[in-house]
Amino acid sequence: MDAFLFFLFAAIAVACGINLVVQTHPISSALSLIGVMGALAVLYLLLGAEFMAAAQMIVYAGAIMVLFVFVIMLLNAGAETRKSRATFAKLLGVPALIGFLMTVSFLIQALLPRTEPVKFGAFTGGTAQAIGKKLFTEYLLPFEVTSVLILIAILGAVVLARKEI
Amino acid sequence: MPQTVPLSWYLILSAILFGLGVAGFIFRRNIITVFMSIELMLNAVNLSFIAFSYQLRQVDGHIFSFFVMVVAAAEAAVGLAIILTVFKNRATLAIDEVNSLKN
């Protein structure tokens, strides 16, 4: 069952990822990205990261992607136009990408020959309780710095989106 | 069909998604699609973090992944504001038409 779920959702993630790169209209790419994020949330659950799976769905697939879709709608973005350069890039880039990925896969398999099999339920340390405890004791300073970062991001977004610039 | 898959296959899936993100970043011309490719790369790295966290039986990888998520949210807010400003000034979303530095 573990292997079946992995293959199913890995296939969904890769198919949606390819669709993201291939589609010319940005809204199709955005929907594909939501598919990738949903599939990855299931894989996080398989790896015992239940809090991260929930956060992935709420923060990424919910908040960030709504922002993207909102901007696409606001700017009325259409499909991109093709250029003559694009076919050359495809001829050179797709084989290069496939070769690169095969090399990386071979290296991962060769350098990590005996990784353990993933079994659902073997690691249950990813609960909200465990993460909260770590976050407010060991990682308290990065957590506080993150709040400052978000405040600066809000200010930056407001300043950039003003009328005068 | 095997009952379980080794952990390294999760890492290979992460590498494939990262490669697709790089391809989208290089090949696409629409600035919003380029931005979404960056988000795809961040997601691929998050999968790596969580896979290694499973291997080491430690929750620290989840924390790192959580911080990556927070930074991605901040980055999306600022980046989309920049895209709005570029569109307001140039009336285009194609990245190779935004080339003031070249001239």
State the residue range of the domain holding A158.
127-165
Partner-chain residue, chosen from B12, B19, B29, that has the shortest CB–CB distance to A80: B29
Query: By the CB < 8 Å criterion, does B51 face chain A?
Result: yes
- Residue A133 domain-assigned? yes
- Residue A118 domain-assigned? no
Provide the CATH number for the domain formed by B30-93 in this structure: 1.10.287.3510
Q: What is the ipTM of this complex?
A: 0.91
Q: How far is CA A91 from the centre of its chain?
A: 27
Residues A142 and A75 in one domain: no
- Residue A68 domain-assigned? yes
- Residue A42 domain-assigned? yes
Cβ contacts below 8 Å, chain A against chain B, sum to 234
Number of domains in chain A: 3
Partner-chain residue, chosen from B1, B13, B77, that has the shortest CB–CB distance to A13: B13
Q: Which residue has tokens 């973090």?
A: B49
Residues of chain B with pLDDT under 70: 1
B40 class by beta-carbon count within 10 Å (0-12 exposed, 13-18 middle, 19+ buried): buried
Residues A94 and A65 in one domain: no
- Check pLDDT > 70 for residue A165: no
Residues A68 and A25 in one domain: yes
Contact criterion met (CB < 8 Å) for B13 and A17: no
What span, in angstroms and rounded, lies between the C-alpha atoms of B55 and A135?
A: 20
Beta strands in A35-142 (DSSP E): none
Contact criterion met (CB < 8 Å) for A118 and B10: yes
- Residue A119 domain-assigned? no
Residues A77 and A2 in one domain: yes
Query: By the CB < 8 Å criterion, does B73 face chain A?
Result: yes
In chain B, where the domains are located: 30-93
Query: By the CB < 8 Å criterion, does B33 face chain A?
Result: yes
Please give the model's pTM, rounded to 2 decimal places: 0.91
- pLDDT attached to residue A88: 76
- pLDDT attached to residue A8: 94
Residues A102 and A145 in one domain: no
DSSP state of A116: P
